[in-house]
Amino acid sequence: MREFSGILRGGGEALSKALLIFLVFVLRCGLSKVLDLPPENLIKSISAVPVSKKRRVADFQLSIASVTEDSSSDCLAPGLHLQAQKLAERLKCDAVVSEISAGPGTVNFTINRELLAKTVLQQVLKDGSEYGVKSELFSTVPKQKAVIEFSSPNIAKKFHIGHLRSTIVGNFIANLKVALGHEVIRMNYLGDWGMQFGLLGVGFQLFGNKEKLKTSPLQHLFEVYVQINKAAEDENTKKLAKDFFRKLEEHDEQTLSLWKQFRDFSIDEYIRIYKRLGVHFDEYSGESFYQEKSKEVLKMLENKGLLQKTIKGTGIVDLSEKKDLSSFSTVMRSDGTSLYITRDLAAAIDRMNKHNCDSMIYVTGKSQSNHFQHLFQILKLMGYDWVERCQHVSFGLVQGMKTRRGEVIFLEDVLNEVRSRMLQNMASAKTTKEIEDPMETAEKVGLAALIIQDFQGLLSSDYQFSWDRALQSRGDTGVFLQYTHARLHSLEQMHGNEQLTHINVACLQEPDAISVLQHLLRYDEVLYRSSQDLQPKHIVSYLLTLSHLAAVAHKTLPVKGSTPELAQARLCLFQAARSVLANGMKLLGITPVTQM
Ligand code: ARG
């Protein structure tokens, strides 16, 4: 373990200088000079202390274990504690740092209260929607281009909860990356090919209606598909479906034109519904695009000696280490046609050629983990090194989502259900009357409820869906976030925005004000964590805490009835809290409401 006395060349003096411009990112870099460590190493070592129920001991803490070379956790305790004490003793307080103390393995810094208020508020209000993302934490992260594939429903089939989860998770990842300055291609890879289109084609000839296809394509195609599936028991229908699909594969003009109508009308409706969710795509791709290209993939696999034929005539790729077929993937049917994975191979190669991106992300349920593992393994065997930059972001199962009418079949069912439930809640809370557009407000609040329920845990965990839990107005829910935002907004409406230059920060010294300020200070770290593991839960719990702290402060630090000086300072504090709350909510895919 490195001795701190050796690292601390500048002594207390230099550290204080670093703290002089104390914002956390500056602090990190300054300390890095004192400690003779690259700033990246300090990113994780120094952090704003989380605000919990109990008040915080300090504003920032430096973790000794993470700046020393030997930082395995089992060597924590006596050695590190002593180091922390030694370091704390050597550092002196000054105009910026008002208190330095040692904790178990940490050195804690408390910043001069007025400076804390001034600097945090200045930064939040100046940076606006860029607060946090401009942090030094991200300065060493190169700007990259990512293709993010998400949602990807199957035409004529159910849009199940897994598709909804993929939609909101993918949207969140895309929002976060864009906010951090990366280039993002949002891609929807539709299930728009395969035998089901043979059946659908025949079904449409029997039960279809062109008018209904135009007005409500998703519903109509689904109904036709259900009907024809019942009828498909008989051999004749099966044969007709096979013929239809064969014609489709041979690009027969009439057949293709009907299929194209199914696809185009469906996309139009998807776009309309995604808009209600606040989601858009840059590209609607789909399995159909890769019918021809999968043939090329099979040729490539053959040329590389990777394609093996089984006795049954199917084509497989051996994925086992010992080449004993203990693990393999089937890439070709016995009639020579391609499979889901073959189309994905072609799609991945095409995506990389077309977009030349730094990363490719697929967002689906964990039931497809095996599929993506195989996909990446085959690409690797084919010699595509960029497969290292492909990632499957998977999520767990959601159980028990039902609407009053029964099973969820369409995305729109969920949106309508959450809106009507929320409207009902608002009506019983008697707030609806004064709202300009209650339907729209109910929808935005309801969506926040769904998103927060979904994002609260690790994405990989399964959870039991509950309308009641999601829609509670108190506690850790999206409704509570929206409510807090609306309240803070109406405060501004009532009293007007405050210019920071006009306020006296000495008025913000109550513990409840300090807690809000300390919490605002941590926003960049939370963004950083989510950007590293792509888990929204860090941001969710941050925003919930922010809302709780703001709610408490709103109660104990009234604006109305206070002296003008006090009122102005408090308004400024609430304005900053609302700004960060709104930023975070937008990243999660929530549209903050201004009244409810
Ligand atoms: N359409 C698929 C399904 O509903 C999801 C597609 C996932 N993406 C992919 N490239 N395979 O299960």
Number of other CB atoms surrounding residue 464 within 10 Å: 10
- Please identify every residue annotated as catalytic: 157, 160, 163
Ligand 1 geometric centre to CA of 262 (Å): 18
CATH number at residue 78: 3.30.1360
Residue corresponding to tokens 């609607």: 284
Structure tokens at 127: 């940076």
The helix/strand/coil state of 92 is coil
- Total residue count of the chain as it appears in this document: 596
In terms of Cα–Cα distance, which of 231, 221, 237 is closest to 158? 221
Confidence band for 33, pLDDT divided at 50, 70 and 90: low
d(CA 32, CA 46): 10
Q: What is the largest CA-CA distance in the chain?
A: 89
Residues 67 and 31 in one domain: yes
Residue 295: C-alpha distances to residues 48, 315, 338, 372, 375 (Å)? 55, 12, 7, 20, 16
User: Which residue's CA is minimally distant from atom 11 of ligand 1?
Assistant: 344
Query: Which atom of ligand 1 is found nearest the CA of 371?
Result: 11
**Are 165 and 44 in the same domain?**
no
pTM: 0.90
Find residue 191's DSSP bridge partners.
154
Does residue 364's CB lie within 6 angstroms of at least one atom of ligand 1? yes
Is 592 in a helix, a strand, or coil?
Answer: coil
Cα of 189 vs centre of ligand 1, distance in Å, is 7
* Domain identity same for 392 and 539: no
Mark which of 360, 382, 399 sits at the end of a domain: 399
454 shares a domain with 533: yes
Q: Give mean pLDDT, residues 453-473.
A: 95
Whether residue 595 lies inside any domain: the answer is no
Binned at pLDDT 50, 70 and 90, residue 470 comes out as: very high
State the average pLDDT for the chain.
Answer: 88
Q: Is 524 in the pocket of ligand 1 (CB under 6 A)?
A: no
The better pLDDT of the pair 84, 342 is held by 342
Residues 6+ apart with CB under 8 A from 329: 316, 317, 319, 341, 374, 377, 378
Phi, psi of 292 (to 5 degrees): -70, -45
> Are the beta carbons of 169 and 530 closer than 8 angstroms?
no
Highest mean pLDDT among 75-84, 396-405, 498-507, 567-576: 567-576
- Cβ–ligand 1 distance for 152 under 6 Å, the answer yes
| Cβ-proximal residues to 458 (8 Å cutoff; 6+ apart), any chain | 535, 537
Does residue 134 lie within any of the structural domains? Answer: no
Residue 190 CA: which ligand 1 atom is closest?
Answer: 1
Convert 216-247 to b/e letters by CB count within 10 Å (16 or more is b). Answer: bbbebbbbbbeebeebbeeeebbebbeebbeb
- Residue 285's DSSP bridge partners are 189
Closest approach atom of ligand 1 to CA 340: 11
Same domain membership, residue 253 and residue 195: yes
Ligand 1 atom at minimal distance to the Cα of residue 364: 7
Residues 114 and 503: beta-carbon distance below 8 Å: no
Query: 39: buried, middle or exposed (CB in 10 Å: 19+, 13-18, 0-12)?
Result: middle
- What is the Cβ-side half-sphere exposure of residue 147, based on CA atoms within 13 angstroms? 24
Whether 382 has a pLDDT exceeding 50, the answer reads: yes
Residue type, 33: K
Evaluate: CB of 344 within 6 angstroms of ligand 1.
yes
In order of 275, 480, 503, the CA distances from 591 in angstroms are 12, 14, 30
CA 542 – CA 366 distance, rounded (Å): 26
Whether 170 and 232 map to the same domain: the answer is yes
> What count of Cα atoms within 13 Å lies in the side-chain half-sphere of residue 178?
17
Query: Distance from the CA of 390 to the center of ligand 1, in angstroms?
Result: 15
Of the candidates 377, 317, 379, the residue with the CA atom closest to the CA atom of residue 348: 379
Cβ–ligand 1 distance for 362 under 6 Å, the answer: yes
What DSSP designation does 338 have? B
Q: Which of 149, 151, 161, 368 to mutate to test the pocket of ligand 1 (most atoms within 8 A of CB)?
A: 368
351 and 239 within one domain: yes
Range with top average pLDDT, 15-24, 104-113, 118-127: 118-127
Nearest residue CA, atom 5 of ligand 1?
152
| Nearest-10 crossing angle of helices 24-35, 523-533 | 80
Domain tally for the chain?
A: 3
Q: For residue 530, give the CATH number of its domain.
A: 1.10.730.10
The parent domain of residue 223 ranges over 145-291+340-399
What pLDDT score was predicted for residue 45? Answer: 66
Q: Are residues 84 and 205 in the same domain?
A: no
* Of 558, 556, 451, 434, the residue nearest 486 (C-alpha): 434
- The alpha carbon of 428 and the centre of ligand 1 are apart by a number of angstroms equal to 41
Among 111, 133, 168, the domain-final residue is: 111
Q: For residue 323, which amino acid is it?
A: K
Same-domain pairing of 166 and 216? yes
Q: What is the pLDDT of residues 45-58, one digit of tens each?
A: 667 777 765 566 78
For ligand 1, atom 3: residue with the closest CA: 153
Asked if the model's pLDDT at residue 534 lies above 90, the reply is yes
Instruction: State the Cα–Cα distance between residues 393 and 406, nearest whole angstrom.
Output: 30
Flag whether 126 is in a domain. no
Task: Give residue 29 CA to ligand 1 midpoint distance, Å.
Answer: 44
| 525 vs 16 pLDDT, higher one | 525
With a 6 Å cutoff on the Cβ, whether 191 touches ligand 1 is yes
Is residue 530 one of the residues assigned to a domain? yes
Check: CB of residue 342 under 8 Å from CB of residue 331: yes
CB of 110 closer than 6 angstroms to any ligand 1 atom: no
CATH of the domain at 368: 3.40.50.620
521 CA from centroid of ligand 1 (Å) = 40
**CA–CA distance, 322 with 326 (Å, rounded to integer):** 8
Q: What is the interface pTM, i.e. ipTM, of the complex?
A: 0.99
- Note whether residue 391 is domain-resident: yes
Atom of ligand 1 nearest to the CA of 347: 10
| Terminal-to-terminal C-alpha distance of the chain | 56
Q: The tokens of 37 are what?
A: 């460590």
- Helix (H) or strand (E) holding 481, with range, is helix 478-495
- Does 532 share its domain with 570? yes
Residue nearest to atom 10 of ligand 1 (CA): 344
| Residue with CA closest to ligand 1 atom 4 | 153
The arithmetic mean of pLDDT across residues 97-126, rounded, is 86
pLDDT tens sequence across 411-444: 999 999 999 999 999 988 876 667 889 999 999 9
Ligand 1: centre distance to CA 364 (Å): 7
Which CA distances in Å does 351 have to 74, 186, 188? 45, 12, 12
Is the CB–ligand 1 distance for residue 154 below 6 Å? yes
CA of residue 184 to ligand 1 center, whole Å: 19
* 121 domain-assigned: no
pLDDT on residue 348:
98
DSSP 36: T
pLDDT in the model for residue 407 = 84
Q: DSSP alpha helices (H): ranges in 320-428?
A: 340-355, 369-381, 411-428
413 and 395 in a single domain? The answer is no
CA 50 to chain centroid, in Å, comes to 22
Q: 């027969």: which residue's tokens?
A: 252
Label residue 306 by pLDDT band (50, 70, 90): very high
Q: pLDDT band at residue 358, thresholds of 50, 70 and 90?
A: very high
Highest mean pLDDT (candidates 130-139, 398-407, 505-514) = 505-514
Burial of 508 (0-12, 13-18, 19+ CB in 10 A): buried
Has residue 120 been placed in a domain? no
| Sign of the CA dihedral running 184, 188, 189, 193 | negative
Q: Is 192 in the pocket of ligand 1 (CB under 6 A)?
A: no
Q: Does 594 reside within a domain?
A: no
Q: Residue 443 — φ and ψ, nearest 5°? A: -65, -45
Judge if 196 and 241 occupy the same domain: yes
* Cα(340)–Cα(287) distance, integer angstroms: 8
